[in-house]
């Protein structure tokens, strides 16, 4: 009778569990007075850092790239206050539930000190409140949606080292108006937080400069046949199409745009979500001559070239997405904050008060990172943003090497 | 199966081949390499290796089941041979991989994998070890199958517990720590976040084997029926006492669970509860009434969005009601939408019904996602700042607090479901499920019955959606995809269709377990799919099927249907 | 007589007709407005229609797989979308290799044939394995059990292929000859070679299947088994073999559809089967499930509606970003058609059968 046996076993286990409730916790030598609690790290135990990134799926290049940035930062740092750093992580899938489930799991783990993540802005929306409520703090290397750091919507435990899209959208609008001299543009978003807000910023800035937005369309990220949407847009006769979305849908739009009558000579442009050799693979030859806005790698500090060398040696490939350096900076910011607030007590245990850690992160000022001088605003924007516009010079993903030299691909052409 | 006298090479080779394919798949899909560093026994046995070695055990198992021999030696030989074949298949691929770059096509055929498969030695030595281990494991499996029942059970249980402790290490750590003596025990067994220590392994094996042996002694076939008979022979008062005792224990468990289990398991139980609520609703539609609804998540969405729209300050025309005012409105909205869905599909049958309801589910999601309706329901950005439930001055926002809210919802729905099942309406539903035309001939109004089924199911889903919205505080259209309708249907069938405890079990297994095993997230769906197929092939009636008498298996009905 | 008619009509029938009429009225109104405003010229409409036909051809080929299996086993084979995915994902490597050696450019026809063959072989193999392992033991089980099994098999196959080949997107190579377009002189009315290839292949395979089912012995056995399994067995037909053949044929068609899809859209990845699978299933039901010409018609109709629909109706109704709702249109159309023809476009009007 398997059922009865299981019942008895289960009852025994339950009895054990209930009895054990009578145990008392060990007394601490260090009195934790922080409102959000402290993380206690025994001597020899590692400092637990967590990443919440998109490490699988069509946009895995974004997550893997930032993860590698974190790993290089950890390797460079070695030990923090005598403790190793242990990195574990959750895959978030670039959608809201992924962000929420990952955040819930991380929030329940009392050994976590800080979080580097998330990648996609749509993940941060549900994740940030959960992380904040658990007393933890997250520093995002690649969230760019403006409303994550709006005063009325900002969550107390959220910071980012990536630029705010208000700047990226405006940069592309300015580029289109001044350099390309287009007067009419159309946008496509994919329903995600990031894309929707970015194209909205672009549209507003473009209109402010005097241009007209002829169409604002939307597709589903899983859509494959973009020709009807493109036909719709073609009927409005734009001179530029801006689709700041992700790799899969972006690839389809790019490869099909030239096949739609009326769009043969239209400029195609996108943003950091498709700034990856995987996008070149997906879009094929149609991406030649396309424009991308992205962080300006040329403006990064001197350490960036060394970072690139370390990246290539360790992982055997070139950088895949725009935010590796931001992840590096985020990790180092966290280390600096830990060093500032951690307390070591007599028996060698390290205590990190969570509230103090959060305050220290927000107090980051003039932090010299790869991406520039980072100073955190009260609403979590830490970046020193410089956005550049690049043009795709070759459709061979193997030649991916963003920069401003003649053999760069894509090549920086503005400012 | 009759005993064979001659050695059946084919059976053994066959078994080895099947297990070999399984082993190759597991290796090439990446499971071995990913978990190569995640130790069950610190420094000795990783999960990756365990997965590999389990295939050889599988080979032995299949070989033994395919052919029974009178001669014990043959059994051992067939086990060993099967294990050897399995290893050989893996070895061949590794050998090929030394000369041909398999990685260009099969991305997980990496050097890390080869290293694991050759146990860190050079190719030939390592592969020889692999073959040897395969043969030995196959032999051991065959040996174990020959042992008397109680020893075999003890061995199996011991290793199962070992595996479980190794896999659920993180969960157990969260549960055990802070429990005084048990916390210390845990640390002794699991030094520093690695795998089990050797003394810990021995301890577990001994304890598990001990429990099993004890169990075999106490609860042998002789004792079990007599316990039941003994209870049956007691006077009514006594029987009632036993019943009450069991219910009291269950109630205590249910109420104490969040305290015992901790924050994250409570969160998991919350998700389990929400899906169980939906499952109970779908149980009414599919289980009681036989209407295959694949778009069930639409009602969930409507419940959630109603609460969102009515309580969130983000929506411009929202009246900013508190949660408790919005909850009944959400349920009514879901009920109405159930009716609206029900009417067009009254005349469609079976699989047509399935696709139409699927369509409705998708249409609802697309409407909530669209730019067109964004000013009203938030569009792709969803709705945030949904009001949390408030009892007195307490805001229910923590998983441990929300647990009780969801538990209350579940109990309510279980109560209503059970009452409906045993009511006239419930019997009308079951009549419709078995044969619509006969039911109509018997005077059951098809229209009303079906509409009521849809409406009831939708209301339960609406309740679940409302609780979901307040639990999360924000909702996005992406949370209401077709996949969730499928999850609910799966948990219903796996738990046992038409049976209410079945829904709870199904939810625990299919929602709770994957959440607990998030560590293995990348392969979660793969295992989920395999488990579904396996369950349907071995136990299609579900874990806790509805008692016979209230449900025919419907086999005759299916056979005569074209 | 009028009274008899009125008595047979129930309240729900009236309600449904009202809904149906309302939807049709909205469609007509939207269409009229769009055409009056004249935002799109005949060129655009034609291009959209051709685009829709190409997509519809692919849907039709996949739908045939669903409908064949349903006709024989009365089960929805959810895993068919993975059968569709497995072919082009595996054939990608062949295509890459051919491209690297320049064979794809130099000898297009043999290369293409090879790609098709590999894709068909893999898809057929997966389909047959599915039948053998997951469905055969469940022939006599109640209806929902094989459904859940197929769902489980679908997840399993998706993630197995993900594990084997990776989760990234793979782009099929673009040989020069794929970019050839034929345009009507002087206008922008063009059709690309890919679209011609897709539509042509689809029509060819559908015709081939029709002949196969109507005229060959195996085809007749398939029809017999789908009519009545027991009697067919009594007549000496090997039912197991016929069922396996049905799955194989469905798989082969899906393999062809997969390569056509890859040629049209270039990107393949492990999840690519899910959405086309649902759409194709919708198409099969639309045309009348179990009915082969129905699946073909359903697929083409669905493809055209998806391409042309949002622009045609929703634009006229003033809805912003209508393409987000194209799936909604497809399903609404399904509901509409099922209201007026409950067994699908070409489904037989049989007495109310229990399904």
The domain containing residue C186 runs over which residues?
A: 10-340
Residues in A touching B518 (Cβ below 8 Å): 90, 101, 105
Using pLDDT thresholds of 50, 70 and 90, give the confidence band for residue A27.
very low
Residue A25 clears pLDDT 50, i.e. is over it: no
Q: What is residue A184's three-state secondary structure?
A: strand
Residue A292, beta-bridge partner list: A270, A390
B479 touches chain A (CB under 8 A): yes
Mind telling me how many Å the CA of B453 is from chain A's nearest CA? 30
Task: Report the pLDDT averaged over residues C169-197.
Answer: 82
C339 touches chain B (CB under 8 A): yes
Tell me if A34 sits within 8 A of A354, measured CB to CB: yes
Reported residue count of chain B is: 562
Residues B427 and B337 in one domain: yes
Q: Please answer yes or no on whether B521 and A25 come within 8 Å at the CB atom.
A: no
Residue A14 clears pLDDT 70, i.e. is over it: no
Q: Closest by alpha carbon to C247, among C348, C351, C355, C127?
A: C127
Residues A359 and A216 in one domain: no
Residues B104 and B207 in one domain: yes
Using pLDDT thresholds of 50, 70 and 90, give the confidence band for residue A113.
very high
Residues in A touching C280 (Cβ below 8 Å): none
Residues B362 and B450 in one domain: yes
Residues A103 and A157 in one domain: yes
Which residues does A397 contact at the CB level (< 8 Å), separation at least 6?
A277, A278, A280, A281
Residues B151 and B248 in one domain: no
Residues in C touching A255 (Cβ below 8 Å): 265-266
Residue A20 clears pLDDT 50, i.e. is over it: no
Please say which residue of B460, B481, B502 terminates a domain.
Answer: B481
Residues A98 and A152 in one domain: yes
Task: Report the pLDDT averaged over residues A75-96.
Answer: 86
All partners of chain A with 3 or more CB pairs under 8 angstroms? B, C
B525 touches chain C (CB under 8 A): yes
Top residue of A53, A220, A227 to mutate, by most chain C CBs within 10 Å, is: A227
Q: What is residue A401's three-state secondary structure?
A: strand
> What's the number of domains chain C is made of?
1
> What's the number of domains chain B is made of?
3
Q: Closest by alpha carbon to A332, among A68, A76, A41?
A: A76
Top residue of C47, C53, C261 to mutate, by most chain A CBs within 10 Å, is: C47
Nearest CA in chain C to A236: C39
B478 touches chain A (CB under 8 A): yes
Nearest CA in chain C to A219: C324
Phi and psi torsions of C272, nearest 5°: -70, -15
Nearest to B486 among C141, C151, C331 (CB): C151
Q: Could you tell me the CA-to-CA distances from A143 to A89, A117, A123, A163 in Å, in that order?
A: 17, 8, 9, 8
Top residue of B110, B180, B217 to mutate, by most chain A CBs within 10 Å, is: B180
In a domain, B529, yes or no: no
B286 touches chain C (CB under 8 A): yes
| Listed range (A35-44, A265-274, A286-295) with the worst mean pLDDT | A35-44
The domain containing residue B235 runs over which residues?
A: 228-253
Residues A150 and A70 in one domain: yes
- What is the CATH number for C236? 1.10.3470
Average pLDDT score over chain C: 86
Residues B112 and B238 in one domain: no
Angstrom distance (rounded) from CA A253 to CA A273: 14
Residues B268 and B249 in one domain: no
In a domain, A400, yes or no: yes
Residues A201 and A329 in one domain: no
Angstrom distance (rounded) from CA A198 to CA C107: 45
Residues A129 and A76 in one domain: yes
Residues in A touching B260 (Cβ below 8 Å): 17-18, 21
B367 touches chain C (CB under 8 A): yes
Q: Give the model's pLDDT for residue B519.
A: 65
In a domain, B555, yes or no: no
Phi and psi torsions of A270, nearest 5°: -145, -170
- Summarised one tens digit per residue, pLDDT across range C316-328 is 777 777 777 888 8
- Summarised one tens digit per residue, pLDDT across range A344-391 is 888 888 899 999 999 999 999 999 888 888 999 999 999 888 889 999
Residue C8 clears pLDDT 70, i.e. is over it: no
Angstrom distance (rounded) from CA B2 to CA B4: 6
Residues B245 and B315 in one domain: no
Q: Please answer yes or no on whether B518 and A105 come within 8 Å at the CB atom.
A: yes
Angstrom distance (rounded) from CA B402 to CA B399: 5
Residues A404 and A258 in one domain: yes
Mind telling me how many Å the CA of C48 is from chain A's nearest CA? 6
- What is the CATH number for A94? 3.40.50.2300
ipTM over 0.90: no
Class of residue A153 by CB neighbours under 10 A (exposed 0-12, middle 13-18, buried 19+): middle
Nearest to A126 among B219, B221, B474 (CB): B474
In a domain, B558, yes or no: no
Residues A374 and A394 in one domain: no
In a domain, B35, yes or no: yes
Task: Pull the structure tokens for residue C228.
Answer: 């009545």
What is Dmax (Cα atoms) for chain B? 82
Q: Please answer yes or no on whether A284 and C174 come within 8 Å at the CB atom.
A: yes
In a domain, B120, yes or no: yes
Top residue of C11, C12, C223, C337 to mutate, by most chain B CBs within 10 Å, is: C12
Q: Give the model's pLDDT for residue A248.
A: 86
Residues A272 and A332 in one domain: no
Residues A108 and A184 in one domain: no
B530 touches chain C (CB under 8 A): yes
Residues B311 and B283 in one domain: yes
Nearest to C171 among A56, A231, A281 (CB): A281
B31 touches chain C (CB under 8 A): yes
Residue C38 clears pLDDT 80, i.e. is over it: no
Residues B193 and B273 in one domain: no
Top residue of B25, B27, B351 to mutate, by most chain C CBs within 10 Å, is: B351
Task: Report the pLDDT averaged over residues A159-170.
Answer: 91
Peptide bond into A154 cis (omega under 30): no
Selected residues 216-245 of chain B with any CB under 8 Å from a CB in chain C: none
Q: Please answer yes or no on whether B529 and C281 come within 8 Å at the CB atom.
A: no
B500 touches chain C (CB under 8 A): no
Mind telling me how many Å the CA of A351 is from chain C's nearest CA? 40
Q: Give the model's pLDDT for residue B1.
A: 61
User: What is the SS3 assignment for chain C?
Assistant: CHHHHHHHCCHHHHHHHHHHHHHHHHHHHHHHHHHHHCCCCHHHHHHHHHHHHHHHHHHHHHHHHHHHHHHHHCCCCCCHHHHHHHHHHHHHHHHHHHHHCCHHHHCHHHHHHHHHHHHHHHHHHHHHHHHHHHHHHHCCCCCHHHHHHHHHHHHHHHHHHHHHHCCCCEECCCCHHHHCEEECCCCCCEEEHHHHHHHHHHHHHHHHHHHHHHHCHHHHHHHHHHHCHHHHHHCCCCHHHHHHHHHHHHHHHHHHHHHHHHHHHCEECCCCCHHHHHHHHHHHHHHCCCCHHHHHHHHHHHHHHHHHHHHHHHCCCCCCCHHHHHHHHHHHHHHHHHHHCCCCCCCCCCCCCCC
Angstrom distance (rounded) from CA B323 to CA B405: 12
Residues in A touching B381 (Cβ below 8 Å): 125, 193, 196
Nearest to A259 among C167, C192, C327 (CB): C192
Residues B370 and B235 in one domain: no
Q: What is residue B18's three-state secondary structure?
A: helix
Task: Report the pLDDT averaged over residues C120-128.
Answer: 96
Per-residue DSSP letter, B262: -
Angstrom distance (rounded) from CA C156 to CA B533: 9
In a domain, C2, yes or no: no
- Summarised one tens digit per residue, pLDDT across range A122-132 is 889 889 988 99
In a domain, A11, yes or no: no
Top residue of C59, C137, C354 to mutate, by most chain B CBs within 10 Å, is: C354
Residues A393 and A268 in one domain: yes
In a domain, C233, yes or no: yes
> What's the number of domains chain A is made of?
2
Nearest CA in chain A to C187: A261
Nearest to A225 among C47, C55, C189 (CB): C55
A interface residues, C as partner, C-beta within 8 Å:
56-58, 60-61, 191, 216-220, 222-225, 227-229, 231-232, 234-235, 247-248, 251-252, 255-256, 259-262, 278, 281-285
The domain containing residue A216 runs over which residues?
A: 166-298+388-414
Q: How far is CA C168 from the centre of its chain?
A: 25
Please say which residue of B428, B462, B481 terminates a domain.
Answer: B481
In a domain, A309, yes or no: no
In a domain, A31, yes or no: no
- Summarised one tens digit per residue, pLDDT across range C135-173 is 999 988 887 888 889 999 999 999 999 888 887 788 888
In a domain, A303, yes or no: no
Residues A92 and A224 in one domain: no
Nearest CA in chain B to C331: B359
Residue C46 clears pLDDT 90, i.e. is over it: no
In a domain, A25, yes or no: no
Angstrom distance (rounded) from CA B271 to CA A120: 24
Residues in chain B, pLDDT under 70: 1-2, 174-184, 186-195, 218-232, 234, 518-519, 521, 548-562
A94-103, C72-81, C188-197: range with highest mean pLDDT: C72-81
Residues B146 and B186 in one domain: yes
Q: What is residue B319's three-state secondary structure?
A: coil
Residue C51 clears pLDDT 80, i.e. is over it: yes
Residues in B touching C155 (Cβ below 8 Å): 525-526, 528-529, 532
Per-residue DSSP letter, A45: P
How many CB pairs below 8 A link B and C? 194
In a domain, B152, yes or no: yes
Task: Report the pLDDT averaged over residues A242-258.
Answer: 91
Q: B419: alpha, beta or left, given left = phi > 0 and alpha = psi -120 to 50?
A: alpha
Residue A26 clears pLDDT 80, i.e. is over it: no
Residues B203 and B232 in one domain: no
In a domain, C347, yes or no: no
In a domain, C48, yes or no: yes
Q: Please answer yes or no on whether B224 and A1 come within 8 Å at the CB atom.
A: yes
């Amino acid at each position: 009778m398997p059922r009865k046996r299981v019942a008895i076993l289960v009852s025994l286990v339950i009895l054990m569990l209930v009895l054990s409730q009578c145990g008392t916790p060990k007394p601490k030598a260090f009195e934790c007075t922080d409102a959000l609690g402290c993380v206690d790290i025994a001597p020899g135990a590692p400092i637990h850092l967590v990443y919440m990134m998109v490490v699988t799926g069509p946009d895995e290049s974004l997550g893997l790239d930032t993860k590698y940035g974190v790993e290089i930062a950890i390797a460079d740092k070695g030990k923090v206050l005598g403790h190793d750093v242990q990195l574990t992580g959750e895959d978030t899938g670039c959608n809201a539930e992924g962000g929420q489930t990952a955040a819930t799991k991380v929030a329940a783990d009392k050994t976590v000190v800080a979080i580097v993540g998330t990648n996609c802005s749509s993940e941060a929306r549900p994740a940030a409140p959960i992380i904040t409520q658990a007393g933890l703090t997250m520093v995002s290397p690649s969230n760019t949606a403006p409303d994550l750091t709006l005063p009325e919507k900002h969550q107390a435990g959220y910071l980012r080292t990536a630029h705010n899209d208000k700047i990226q959208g405006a940069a592309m609008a300015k580029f289109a108006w001044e350099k390309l001299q287009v007067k009419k543009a159309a946008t496509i978003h994919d329903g995600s937080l990031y894309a929707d807000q970015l194209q909205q910023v672009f549209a507003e800035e473009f209109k402010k400069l005097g241009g007209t937005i002829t169409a604002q369309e939307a597709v589903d990220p899983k859509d494959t046949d973009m020709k009807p949407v493109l036909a719709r847009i073609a009927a409005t006769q734009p001179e530029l199409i801006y689709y700041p979305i992700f790799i899969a849908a972006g690839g389809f739009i790019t490869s099909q745009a030239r096949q739609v009558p009326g769009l043969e000579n239209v400029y195609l442009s996108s943003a950091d979500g498709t700034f990856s050799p995987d996008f070149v693979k997906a879009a094929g030859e149609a991406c030649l001559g396309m424009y991308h806005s992205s962080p300006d790698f040329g403006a990064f500090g001197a350490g960036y070239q060394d970072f690139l060398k370390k990246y290539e040696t360790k992982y055997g490939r070139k950088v895949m997405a725009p935010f590796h350096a931001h992840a590096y900076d985020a990790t180092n910011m966290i280390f600096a904050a830990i060093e500032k607030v951690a307390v070591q007590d007599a028996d060698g245990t390290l205590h990190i008060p969570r509230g103090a850690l959060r305050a220290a992160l927000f107090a980051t000022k003039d932090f010299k990172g790869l991406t520039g001088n980072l100073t955190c605003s009260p609403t979590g924007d830490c970046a020193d943003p410089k956005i550049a516009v690049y043009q795709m010079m070759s459709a061979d993903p193997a030649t991916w090497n963003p920069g401003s030299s003649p053999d760069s691909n894509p090549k920086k052409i503005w400012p | 199966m009759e005993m064979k006298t001659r050695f059946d090479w084919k059976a053994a080779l066959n078994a080895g081949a099947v297990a070999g394919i399984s082993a190759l798949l597991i290796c090439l899909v990446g499971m071995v390499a990913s978990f190569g560093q995640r130790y069950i026994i610190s420094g000795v046995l990783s999960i990756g290796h365990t997965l590999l070695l389990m295939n050889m055990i599988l080979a032995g198992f299949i070989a033994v089941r395919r052919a029974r021999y009178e001669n014990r030696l043959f059994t051992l030989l067939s086990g060993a041979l099967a294990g050897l074949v399995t290893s050989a298949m893996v070895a061949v691929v590794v050998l090929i991989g030394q000369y041909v770059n398999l990685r260009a096509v099969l991305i997980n055929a990496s050097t890390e994998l080869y290293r694991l498969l050759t146990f860190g030695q050079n190719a030939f030595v390592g592969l020889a070890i692999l073959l040897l281990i395969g043969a030995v494991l196959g032999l051991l499996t065959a040996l174990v199958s020959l042992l008397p029942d109680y020893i075999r059970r003890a061995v199996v249980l011991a290793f199962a517990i070992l595996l479980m402790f190794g896999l659920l290490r993180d969960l157990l750590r969260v549960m055990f720590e802070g429990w005084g003596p048990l916390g210390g025990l845990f640390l002794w067994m699991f030094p520093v976040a690695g795998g089990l220590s050797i003394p810990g392994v021995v301890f577990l094996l001994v304890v598990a084997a001990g429990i099993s042996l004890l169990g075999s002694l106490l609860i042998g076939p002789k004792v079990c029926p007599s316990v039941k008979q003994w209870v049956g022979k007691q006077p009514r008062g006594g029987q009632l006492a036993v019943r009450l005792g069991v219910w009291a224990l269950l109630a205590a468990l249910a109420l104490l669970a969040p305290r015992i289990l901790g924050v994250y398991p409570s969160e998991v139980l919350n998700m389990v509860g929400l899906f169980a609520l939906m499952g109970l609703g779908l149980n009414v539609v599919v289980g009681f009434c036989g209407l295959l609804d694949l778009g069930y998540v639409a009602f969930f969405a409507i419940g959630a969005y109603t609460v969102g729209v009515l309580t969130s300050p983000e929506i411009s025309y929202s009246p900013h009601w508190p949660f408790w005012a919005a909850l009944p409105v959400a349920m009514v909205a879901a009920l109405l939408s159930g009716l609206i869905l029900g009417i067009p599909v009254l005349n469609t049958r079976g699989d047509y019904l399935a696709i139409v309801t699927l369509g409705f589910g998708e249409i609802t999601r697309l409407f909530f996602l669209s730019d067109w309706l964004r000013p009203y329901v938030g569009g792709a950005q969803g709705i945030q700042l949904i009001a949390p439930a408030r009892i007195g001055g307490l805001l229910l926002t923590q998983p441990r607090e929300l647990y009780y809210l969801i538990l209350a919802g579940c109990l309510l729905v279980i109560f209503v479901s059970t009452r409906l099942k045993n009511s006239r309406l419930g019997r009308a539903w079951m009549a419709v499920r078995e044969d619509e035309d006969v039911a109509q001939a018997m005077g059951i109004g098809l229209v009303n019955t079906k509409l009521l089924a849809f409406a009831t199911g939708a209301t339960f889903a609406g309740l679940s959606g409302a609780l979901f919205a307040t639990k999360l505080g924000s909702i996005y259209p992406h949370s209401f995809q077709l996949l969730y309708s499928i999850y609910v249907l799966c948990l219903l069938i796996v738990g046992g269709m038409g049976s209410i405890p079945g829904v709870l079990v199904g939810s625990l297994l299919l929602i709770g377990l994957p959440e607990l095993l998030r560590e293995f997230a990348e392969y979660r769906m793969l295992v989920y799919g395999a488990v579904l197929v396996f369950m349907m092939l071995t136990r299609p009636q579900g874990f806790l099927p509805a008692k016979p008498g209230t449900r025919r298996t419907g086999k005759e009905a299916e056979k005569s249907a074209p | 007589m009028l009274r008899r008619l009125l008595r047979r009509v129930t309240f729900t029938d009236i309600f449904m007709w009202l809904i149906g009429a309302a939807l049709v009225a909205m469609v007509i109104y939207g269409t009229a407005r769009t055409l009056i405003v004249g935002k799109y010229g005949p060129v655009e409409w034609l291009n959209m229609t051709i685009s829709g036909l190409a997509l519809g051809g692919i849907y039709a080929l996949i739908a045939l797989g669903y409908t064949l299996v349903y006709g024989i086993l009365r089960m929805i084979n959810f895993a068919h979308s993975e059968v569709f995915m497995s072919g082009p994902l595996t054939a990608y490597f062949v295509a890459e290799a051919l491209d690297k050696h320049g064979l794809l450019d130099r000898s297009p026809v043999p290369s293409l044939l090879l790609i098709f063959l590999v894709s068909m072989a893999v898809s057929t193999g997966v389909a047959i394995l599915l039948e053998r392992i997951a469905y055969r033991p469940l022939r006599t089980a109640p209806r929902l059990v094989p459904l859940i099994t197929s769902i489980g098999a679908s997840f399993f196959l998706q993630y197995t292929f993900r594990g084997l080949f990776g989760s990234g997107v793979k782009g099929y190579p673009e040989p020069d000859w794929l970019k050839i377009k034929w345009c009507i002189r002087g206008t922008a009315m063009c059709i690309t070679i890919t679209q011609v290839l897709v539509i042509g292949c689809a029509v060819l395979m559908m015709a081939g299947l029709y002949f196969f089912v109507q005229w060959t012995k195996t085809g007749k056995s398939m029809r017999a088994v789908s009519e009545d399994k027991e009697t067919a067995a009594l007549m000496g037909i090997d039912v197991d073999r016929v069922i396996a053949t049905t799955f194989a044929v469905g798989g082969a068609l899906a393999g062809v559809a997969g390569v056509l899809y890859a040629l049209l859209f270039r990107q393949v990845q492990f999840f690519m089967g899910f959405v086309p699978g649902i759409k194709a299933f919708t198409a099969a039901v639309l045309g009348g499930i179990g009915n082969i010409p129905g699946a073909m018609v359903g697929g083409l109709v669905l493809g055209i509606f998806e391409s042309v629909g949002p622009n045609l109706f929703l634009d006229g109704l003033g809805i912003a970003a209508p393409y987000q709702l194209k799936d909604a249109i497809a399903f609404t159309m399904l509901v509409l058609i099922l209201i007026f023809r409950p067994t699908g476009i070409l489904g037989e009007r049989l007495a109310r059968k229990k399904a």
